[in-house]
Amino acid sequence: MKQPTGNRYPVTGNKTGRTTKFKTMNCKSKPDIFIIFGGTGDLNSRKLAPALYNLFIDNWLPPQFSIIGTGRTKLTDEAYRNNLLEDINQFSRSGHADPAKWQEFSQHIFYQVSDLTKIETYQELGDRIKKHQDEWQKPATIIFYLAVSPHFFKPIAENIAACKLADDVDNTRLVIEKPFGNDLESATALNKLLGSMFEEKQIYRIDHYLGKETVQNILAFRFANSIFEPIWNRNYIEYVQISVTEKLGVEERGDYYEGSGALRDMIQNHILQLLCLIAMEPPVNFEGEEVRSRKVDVLRAMRPFSSEDVRKHTARGQYGDGWIQGKQVPCYRDEPKVSPKSNTETFAAIKFFVDNWRWQNVPFYVRTGKRMHETASVITIQFKDVPHLIFPGEATDNWQQNRLIISIQPEMSIRLQVQAKRPGLDIVLNTVDMVFDYESAYSSYTPEAYETLLLDTILGDQTLFMRGDQVEAAWALIMPILNSWQNRKSVNFPNYSADSWGPELAEALIARDGFHWVTLPQNNKKK
* DSSP code, position 37: E
Residue type, 107: Q
Q: Which of 435, 439, 442 is nearest to 520 (CA)?
A: 435
DSSP 271-282: IHHHHHHHHPPP
Residues 6+ apart with CB under 8 A from 70: 35, 36, 37, 38, 39, 111, 112, 113, 114, 116, 121, 125
- Contact, 261 vs 478, CB < 8 A? no
β-pair partners for 244: 368, 377
- Helix or strand (DSSP H, E) at 444: none
| CA 166/CA 173 separation, integer angstroms | 8
Residues 6+ apart with CB under 8 A from 173: 141, 142, 143, 144, 202, 203, 204, 457, 460
Continuous H helices in 58-179: 77-91, 99-106, 119-136, 153-162
Phi-psi region of 460 (alpha: psi -120 to 50; beta: other; left: phi over 0): left
In the set 270, 313, 388, 516, the catalytic residue is 270
Sheet containing strand 237-245, edge to edge, reads 314-317, 347-353, 363-369, 237-245, 376-383, 403-409, 413-421, 429-437
Q: Which of 194, 111, 110 is nearest to 150 (CA)?
A: 194
| CA 138/CA 65 separation, integer angstroms | 12
Residues 6+ apart with CB under 8 A from 73: 40, 113
Rg (CA), the chain: 24
| CA 295/CA 274 separation, integer angstroms | 10
| CA 218/CA 330 separation, integer angstroms | 37
Determine whether 313 is an active site residue: no
Residue numbers annotated as active site = 270
